[in-house]
Amino acid sequence: METIRIGNASAFWGDSNDAPASLVELAPDLDYLTLDYLAEVSMSILAKQRERDPAAGYARDFVGVVTSLARFWKDGRKLRVVTNAGGLNPAGCAEACAQVLRSAGCRNLRIGIVSGDDVLPEIQGAFAADLHTREFAHMESGAPIETIRESLVTANAYIGAAPMVEAIAKGADLVISGRVADPSLTVAPCVAHFGWKPGDFARLAGATVAGHLIECGTQVTGGISTDWLDLDTRNIGYPIVEVSADGSCVVTKPQNTGGRVSEQSVKEQLVYELGDPSRYLSPDATVSFLTLNVEDQGNNRVRVSGATGGPPPEQYKVSATYRAGYRAAGMLTIVGRDAVEKARRCGQMVLGRLRAAGSEPQRYHVECLGSGDAIGQVAQSNCEALLETVLRISVFDPRKEIVERFTREIAPLVTSGAQGTTGYAEGRPPVREVFGYWPTLIPRARVKPQVQLIEV
């Protein structure tokens, strides 16, 4: 084959569970389907689930997705799926998927399990050797990790394509990993298919660009694009990249779906979450976007070529999370004359009551939605004329009891607040635990990915 067709039908944990089967049905010549489930703090959510149930710790939505895909495998479809839905427990996720595939009558399938991204033991080992270790400092602030030592929950390295390539080479039809770099979900099928070597940096760079383009699902096909209102938004199609042996690709989507693949939509996604365009860092290659050529071929097909690359960094990025405290937010609607002024006064009343009770939270924020608070002063000039606003009060504090006290101060505004107060049917707002994000680095040599296969 001169090209390999790779689709992505999940941009994050919470994306449409119907999209994967829909994309596979609309694109019968798809070779690989990638599904991305992990954002920076997803691991902390999974950690909470695993605390309640040791068998949890993975994106359980994915098991339902596998159930929806089982019919294609049962009918003999040669489709491979690569995903990071394994989260903190790739083996548990794989076994759950194996069970639903067996129940669906699928046989002779292999599931590859990629683990080894969990580097929390490495960090704990560093503390054991030196409580004041200078390793694993915060990437941006430089703060020492000892400041959150007692609160650490997870620490996972963004590993690259190599272990997923190994799983594919061993015949895996479904590859389930923990934390990997998002573009590597696309790089792995390309390397396995074309047989690229570790030093083929131009090709690896091209595949990394292709992965970056589709990792956010429908963003490259028109979702949240500048001209979104001009598009058919009823059923925005999920993206497909046709990757060639030289690493160039064509971005497209299934026919008769909404959205649009255009030079504009592709360029908007290219610069999404992009730091230095000359040094896009991934665990597979360091990529320059400055040499890219973007050519709109029409008919929802855009060719991207010219990527250049070099060796990847000597360190992996690590996403660590820690327990940071608690938060809550309450909302009420204020209607009538002077709505914004009345809402702000209500916000100050609640703060005054908390102070009087010795329960002032560490952070306290009052917003009058509709008055421009969400976007700043540019839209606040006419707020005096507004006849309605939504008052939103948010608090954060390391102490749970402080936040709980705040939740009891919203309802009293129904009778002691301004006239025209409504929208209080939801009761007290819930208290939610807050997890902080700690980005750091670890030498590649200290991360040991493992691959194992199970038969269905």
Q: What is the pLDDT of residues 312-348, one digit of tens each?
A: 999 999 999 999 999 999 999 999 999 999 999 999 9
Radius of gyration of the chain (CA): 25
What would the mean pLDDT of 57-63 be, rounded to a whole number?
96
- Six-digit token pair at 413? 């505004």
Q: Is the pLDDT of residue 215 over 70?
A: yes
Confidence at 44, pLDDT banded by 50, 70, 90 = confident
Q: pLDDT tens digits for 289-305?
A: 999 999 999 999 999 99
What sign for the dihedral angle of Cα 38, 41, 43, 45? negative
What pLDDT score was predicted for residue 424? 83
What pLDDT score was predicted for residue 280? 97
What pLDDT score was predicted for residue 90? 98
The sheet carrying 286-288 orders its strands as 280-281, 286-288, 308-310
Q: Which has the higher per-residue pLDDT, 39 or 147?
A: 147
| CB burial of residue 443 (10 Å; 0-12, 13-18, 19+) | exposed
Q: Is the pLDDT of residue 382 over 90?
A: no
What pLDDT score was predicted for residue 377? 61
Beta strands in 219-362 (DSSP E): 240-244, 249-252, 280-281, 286-288, 293-296, 302-305, 308-310, 315-335
Mean residue pLDDT of the chain comes to 95
What would the mean pLDDT of 444-453 be, rounded to a whole number?
97
Q: pLDDT tens digits for 71-108?
A: 999 999 999 999 999 999 999 999 999 999 999 999 99
What pLDDT score was predicted for residue 378? 53
Between the alpha carbon of residue 83 and those of residues 111, 148, 182, 422, the distances in Å are 11, 30, 9, 45
Q: pLDDT tens digits for 245-262?
A: 999 999 999 999 999 999
Q: Are 82 and 34 in contact (CB under 8 A)?
A: yes
Instruction: Please calculate the CA angle 150-181-211 and round it to the nearest 5 degrees.
Output: 155
Confidence at 48, pLDDT banded by 50, 70, 90 = confident
Residue 167 φ then ψ, to 5°: -65, -40
Confidence at 385, pLDDT banded by 50, 70, 90 = confident
Domains of the chain plus CATH, in order, are 3-117+158-313 (no CATH), 325-435 (3.30.70)
pTM exceeds cut of 0.85 = yes
